[in-house]
Structure 1
Amino acid sequence: MKIIIAGGSGFVGQKLTELLYKKGHDIIILTRKGKQSEGTIKFVQWLEEGAYPEKEIGWADVVINLAGVSINDGRWTENHQRQIYQSRMTATDELVRMVEAFSEKPSVFINASAIGIYPPSLDTVYTEKSTEVADDFLGQTVHDWERKAVAIKEKGIRTVLMRFGVVLGNEGGALPLMALPYRLFMGGTVGSGEQWVSWVHITDVVQSIVFAIENNCLNGPVNVTAPNPKRMKDFGKKVGAVLHRPHWFPVPAFLMKAALGKKSSLVLEGQHVLPEILINEGFEFKFPTLESALRDLFHSVN
């Protein structure tokens, strides 16, 4: 298939590109920079003055939107929050415009999203049927992001909103930072430890995107989390156990807030999210348990 990826140079995008390339698909990566195309991977400029990528691309079978400034990079100043928000709105608006201009419409549009749309809770279990929206920066960002993506669905194109959990990988995401205190023999419970971590291995993330491409039954929100979320204290203990490090040095909430500011909510708050649709449709997680995921990731770099 001819597949467009916006955000193909990011953490998830690189892994997804590798997998789709191995499957023999023609990949078009939208980029702000001029890059030399490589084999069946083509780079096309977008979001720059005078750039009309649809003229060069013409059409596509699949469009995947992973574009946006990372929420993990930097402190959440007002300016950084504005960049996180606007980058997602601008990219999605441009993809909607491009799809409208294509000579042939894609069969599916896949939009990255996040479980941050759900309100933090210690007791509530969220599935794709849950309609609550968090009344905070991340919740509003995801809500507005998905609303823009739905504009493509209204044109008769199957649209999948993939709500990623805490993605675990070695090249990016939250795990390297979460594991660092344990590697230094300083790991321990963060905050109360009761907050939920709905995690997912990077391999299962990219496999779930391929699953969404190939399964016409998937529409609308899809939670991309492992079926066995953990509370933060149990998550930390498992990290320590797999790394053969102690879990003993607690990090109070006020220290996290002082160090990270508003971004501390990413580790001090959480949601208990289950991938009900993926499970019901027969998706098989390669790493359904936290121990299997951590052993794979830590042992691959040790």
Structure 2
Amino acid sequence: MTQAKVAITGATGFLGRRLVEKLAIRGIPVTVLSRSPSKAAARFPRDQFPLVTVAGYDPFDPATIAPGLIDATAVVHLAGEPISTRWTPGVRAAIRNSRETGTRALVTAIAGMPSRPATLISASACRYYGISESKRFAEDSPPGPSGDFLTDTTHLWEAEAQRAADHDLRVVILRFGIALAVTETGRETLKRLRPFLGGRVGSGRQWVSWIHREDAIDILLRVLDTPGMRGAFNATSPHPVRMRQVTDAFGRVSRSFLRVPVPAMVIRQLLGDGATVVLDGQRVHPDRLLADGFRFRFPQIETAVYDILS
């Protein structure tokens, strides 16, 4: 990697914190842009992460973003409000604003810098293609039809990131599938839930385009390492599966014996419109990554789940 410094938004999130750890192992200086500098500093203590600098910022204010980008040759934009929750009107606004308005502010900050980063890597999502039980989607597939909240949000999100190309940046969009891994806290929860894992979720027929977190991080590192990579890439396993295959894998690996099903009605009662994240899906393939020679460590759901639970 030739980058002198990498600036990261969303660095305390599920993917971001692992990316910071991997860059630290490589000896790459990192600037963490955070709305909560004290939280970020606690997550990356100086004695363990001497090359990590924490910069407080307002994600909607370009004037506060720019100082954290000084000397960065690459920016990895992972910030975004969580979507796996009940969607109140306020939550909907936060989900969209964090992606559309937040990305616009970031690109505006970059555009106003006298010395700009060379690369912007922006997260996106497979929902870009919409929902389908039958279609196969790859990077050359058209965007999904408007009218779906997540699909529309993803289109706006990507359009704002692509504006950075107007300022001579290399722009890479990574359309992530559902990232699988377990934090230490989550591992303890899974241990308690082991007897119940494996029950059908909803119909079980919905497609799940997924990726192991370690593969997701390897893709981010590959993009940082490879100046020739530009445009959109699907950051998903080459083997998307039906939801029932996901839950069956968790049941087999955990040797659960109860396998309590979760009907769609229960999920809708819990999450409202946000249930679409779990109940609707699409079959997405990483054709461009495979053509580029990327090799997945966890291409199959069974080996990924085994790694997560072991």
**TM-score in terms of structure 1 length:** 0.91
Q: Distance in 2 between matches of 1:44 and 1:168?
A: 28
Q: Deviations over 1:205-247 (max 9, x none)?
A: 1110111111123211110001111101111111100111147
Once the two structures are overlaid, the 10-residue window that deviates more, 20-29 or 244-253, is 244-253
Deviation (angstroms), 1:270: 0.6
Contact 2:201 2:262 in 1 (8 A): yes
Deviation for aligned residue 1:189: 1.4
**Aligned position for 2:168:** 156
Q: Does 1:78 align with 2:89?
A: yes
* Aligned-partner residue type, residue 253 of structure 2: V
The CA distance in 2 between the partners of 1:247 and 1:184, in whole Å, is 6
Q: Give the CA deviation at 1:94.
A: 2.1
Q: 1:251 to 1:158 in 2, by over 3 A?
A: same
1:26 is the counterpart of 2:29: yes
Unaligned ranges ≥5, structure 1: none
CA distance in structure 1 between the partners assigned to 2:36 and 2:279 by the alignment: 36
Q: Would you say the 8 A contact 1:125–1:274 is kept in 2?
A: yes
Give the aligned partner of residue 178 of structure 2.
166
For the residue of structure 2 that corresponds to 1:121, the secondary structure is coil
| 1:171-182 to 2 correspondences below 5 Å | 171=183
With over 3 angstroms needed to count, the CA separation of the structure-2 counterparts of 1:144 and 1:93, relative to structure 1, is: same
Contact 1:190 1:232 in 2 (8 A): yes
1:169-248 pair list within 5 angstroms: 169-171=181-183, 183-185=194-196, 187-246=198-257, 248=259
2:104 is the counterpart of 1:101: no
Deviation at 1:104, TM superposition (A): 2.0
Task: Verify: 1:65 aligned to 2:94, yes or no.
Answer: no
What secondary structure, in the 3-state scheme, does the structure 2 residue paired with 1:183 have?
Answer: helix
1:18 & 1:293 partners in 2: Cα distance?
20
Q: Is the 8 A contact 1:189 1:247 kept in 2?
A: no
Secondary structure of 1:154 counterpart = helix
2:197 touches 2:247 (CA, 8 Å); kept in 1?
A: no
Q: CA separation of 1:233/1:155 partners in 2, compared to 1, >3 Å: closer, same or farther?
A: same
What amino acid maps onto 1:47 in structure 2?
A: D
The structural deviation recorded for 1:253 is: 1.8
For this pair of structures, how many residues does the alignment match? 296
Q: Is the 8 A contact 1:182 1:243 kept in 2?
A: no
C-alpha change, 1:192 and 1:27, in structure 2 (3 Å) is same
Aligned 8 A contact 1:45 1:51 in 2: no
Contact in 1 for aligned 2:201/2:244 (Cα 8 Å) = yes
More displaced 10-residue stretch of structure 1: 29-38 or 128-137: 29-38
TM-score if structure 2 supplies the norm length? 0.88
Distance 1:141 1:185, change over 3 A: same
Q: Structure 1 residues 102, 181: CA separation in 2 closer, same or farther (over 3 Å shift)?
A: same
Distance 1:191 1:129 in 2: 30
Q: Which amino acid aligns with 2:154?
A: V
Structure 2: distance between partners of 1:120 and 1:55: 39
Shift of 1:57: 4.5
Indicate whether 1:138 and 2:150 are aligned: yes
2:16 to 13, 29, 36: 13
Picking from 36, 54, 57, the partner of 2:66 is 54
Is the 1:3–1:61 Cα contact (8 Å) retained in structure 2? yes
Return the match for 1:88 from 99, 108, 130: 99
Instruction: Answer whether contact 2:122 2:174 (CA < 8 A) is retained.
Output: yes
Counterpart AA for 1:139: T
TM superposition shift of 1:260: 1.6
- CA distance in structure 2 between the aligned counterparts of 1:282 and 1:275, rounded to whole angstroms: 11
Q: Please, which runs of 5 or more residues in structure 2 have no aligned partner?
A: none
State the Cα distance separating 1:56 from its structure 2 match: 5.9
CA contact under 8 A between 1:59 and 1:103: conserved in structure 2? no
Question: Aligned equivalents of 1:51 and 1:96: distance in 2?
Answer: 11
